[in-house]
Structure 1
Amino acid sequence: MIVGALVFVFLIIQDVYSMPNTRREIEKSELSELRKRSDAPQSQKTLDCFDMVGIEGEYLYIPTDNADRTMLCTVYFIANSMDELVDLRIRNIDMPCNEGGLQMFDGWNLGGDVFPSADEHDYPMEDRQFETCGEDSEGVFISSQNVAMISFPNSGRFQLFFRAKKNSRPCHAIAPDSSGEYNLLNYGERRNCSLFVIYPVKMSVIQMSVGDPTTETKLKCFNEPDQLQFLEGNGFDHALMQTEQVLCGSTEMVEVEQEYESVSRDTSNTTFVCNRVGLSIPLQCQSSAVRLISSGETENHVRVKFSKITSSVNECV
């Protein structure tokens, strides 16, 4: 289940969508209520102009009588499993085409940060956006990862059926919970994959083989073509996040945690991390990420476990 107290302020940025320029911020305190409402036991649930959906089912959007018709509405979708896709079937659309229509986006756009990033998605940005409009029109959309979003002018109406679909080759994902486990794999290809968690978390390596499988796992692999990055920040743009640690090499299943020193603060000359010993890395900003960089020369696979931590100070402010 999606935990309500997510820590982002959602800003709707117009550089991706050519729609009305009125925008609104969703406060952190609102997100818990959004999530609670999405769990309401209704056969057909109504959407708000700004909403988040994680429960499969049928939804209806009708603007209220006092709605600001110039407002750009946005609904974020997230599947409850990180190895699923978002499947949207939209019908009975009554949306004027001269106001932008209903636009579907493959991923999330939060505060100008696009996930997955433009340089790491399987498709170019222009192929990640789809639009439908008119009277009694329909749309079918399946995302490339476990998140997607729709944007539309607050002057139309539609019905929508949301379901999750199994992803046979998961790569990028946003965690729907504040704790869990995830596998990152490159499938032997030259590609980058990432997991983002919208919380400060402790990220633990359960098992990994990144780069030369005969090399024991070690720290500070900045110059290696295959590496596992641990990032923290206040958004989804990995280029703007702080690198907390970089690993490479191989280790067996791990059980016991071992302390380490951050590469972004005081460091030691220690390079050996673990052999049948675990590594736990605290990521203390609003957004935590682990990113697998792959050259395509080796089969890379990583299993990580994460759990929410209480951070008294946001180090990335």
Structure 2
Amino acid sequence: MLFTFLMAVGLLGCAQTSPLSKSGGQKVDLSTSIRAKRNSRIIEECMLVGLEEGTYFYKSRGTGDVCGVYLLSQPDQAVQVTFDYLDVDCEADGLVSFVDGWELGGELFPSEVDAPLEGRVHEFCGRLKTKTFTSSGNAALIQYRVPSRGDGFRITVRYVRNPAPCNILVDDVKGVYTLRNHGRRTNCSITTIFPASVSIIQLAVGVNGGAVPNRAIETGVLSRCEKRGSLDYVQLGGGQGLDVTKLEVEDSVCGLDSNPRMPPSHILCGMTTVRMVSSGLTDNSITLAISQITDLDVMPTLMCEVPL
């Protein structure tokens, strides 16, 4: 199993250093990584970040490297991948995988603790008739190992509307985002692949009747909700990878506030994550303004330790 093998050894595709991963952490820099251009559809690099819709074609040169195409759409979209053509020799250990989400250094987005791995990975080889997969969020990954020269595949990528986005991977340097559980028992998160400042614009988490626009019932933003035993809360934090079990948490908040007046959190970590935990007993939502930290003089409210 290609994906299982990658997770076990913690590889990110090729054996050589990837632009998506640097020593000391899983830091991603999309500004300097190789991006798929609208008029460039032939996959020639082992690591490719595709931000555009269209057709991508790969033909093996016989190297047998494990590589990946990382696809990312807008927050309110899902990634739809259609395999128009696939010819990969199974007997030569060739294999292609569609992954619902991203994998970096053996860690997944969304994390397995929030979105179980079952049903998220599809692996195949041989000759494949047309087959379509759709991600649950705005990120998807095509991992492949094609040792036989001349073998390959062609995929068509479309970004389709996602009516209930839950897990959002962000590469824009700034924007406003909303997480909702839609009344379900599910955990949702927003993760940026850079250090970020996070401001809460609106909060309705863990409060019954939170949708009622009545300031008299507003609790304000409550802090340390996780430690208080609240079943519904939002974690603000960061880390050097995608695994939320390793998240360094600055605070966990809950309550009802239609106009919070809180200073922003400045999270100096390789990745910044806002994770909403929902019991399903309340209809939760949080709206955030997120921007990349570019000022090195900013005073961090959370700074992650960099592994040696």
TM-score (norm 2): 0.81
Question: What's the CA shift for 1:95?
Answer: 0.5
Match of 2:100 among 100, 106, 115: 106
CA contact (8 A) 2:14 2:67 kept: no
Match of 1:294 among 278, 287, 292: 278
Matched, 1:135 2:120: no
Equivalent residue number for residue 38 of structure 1: 36
Question: What's the CA shift for 1:292?
Answer: 0.7
Equivalent residue number for residue 97 of structure 1: 90
Equivalent residue number for residue 227 of structure 1: 233
In 2, Cα distance between equivalents of 1:116 and 1:283? 20
Equivalent residue number for residue 75 of structure 2: 82
Matched, 1:174 2:166: no
Equivalent residue number for residue 241 of structure 1: 247
Note the alpha carbon deviations across 1:61-94, whole angstroms, 9 max, x for none.
Answer: 1123xx522x112111111x11111100112211
Equivalent residue number for residue 9 of structure 1: none
Matched, 1:50 2:43: no
CA contact (8 A) 1:192 1:291 kept: yes
Question: What's the CA shift for 1:34?
Answer: 4.1
Equivalent residue number for residue 305 of structure 2: 316
Query: What letter matches 1:101 in structure 2?
Result: L
SS at match of 1:151: strand
Query: What letter matches 1:57 in structure 2?
Result: G
Matched, 1:59 2:56: yes
In 1, Cα distance between equivalents of 2:234 and 2:198? 12
In 2, Cα distance between equivalents of 1:93 and 1:57? 17
Aligned length: 274
RMSD: 2.5
Question: What's the CA shift for 1:216?
Answer: 2.0
Note the alpha carbon deviations across 1:38-57, whole angstroms, 9 max, x for none.
Answer: 22534x44342221111011
Query: What letter matches 2:118 in structure 1?
Result: E
- 1:53–1:200: structure 2 CA closer, same or farther, 3 Å change rule? same
In structure 1, list runs of 5 or more residues that go unmatched.
Answer: 1-11, 255-273
% identical equivalent positions: 30
CA contact (8 A) 1:208 1:303 kept: yes
In 1, Cα distance between equivalents of 2:14 and 2:181? 40
CA contact (8 A) 1:186 1:193 kept: yes
Question: What's the CA shift for 1:60?
Answer: 0.9
In 2, Cα distance between equivalents of 1:92 and 1:225? 47
Query: What letter matches 1:288 in structure 2?
Result: T
TM-score (norm 1): 0.79
In 2, Cα distance between equivalents of 1:184 and 1:23? 36
Task: Report the more deviating stretch, 124-133 or 225-234.
Answer: 124-133
In 2, Cα distance between equivalents of 1:183 and 1:92? 37
In 2, Cα distance between equivalents of 1:300 and 1:194? 13
Task: Report the more deviating stretch, 209-218 or 226-235.
Answer: 209-218
- 1:127–1:315: structure 2 CA closer, same or farther, 3 Å change rule? closer
In 1, Cα distance between equivalents of 2:110 and 2:235? 16
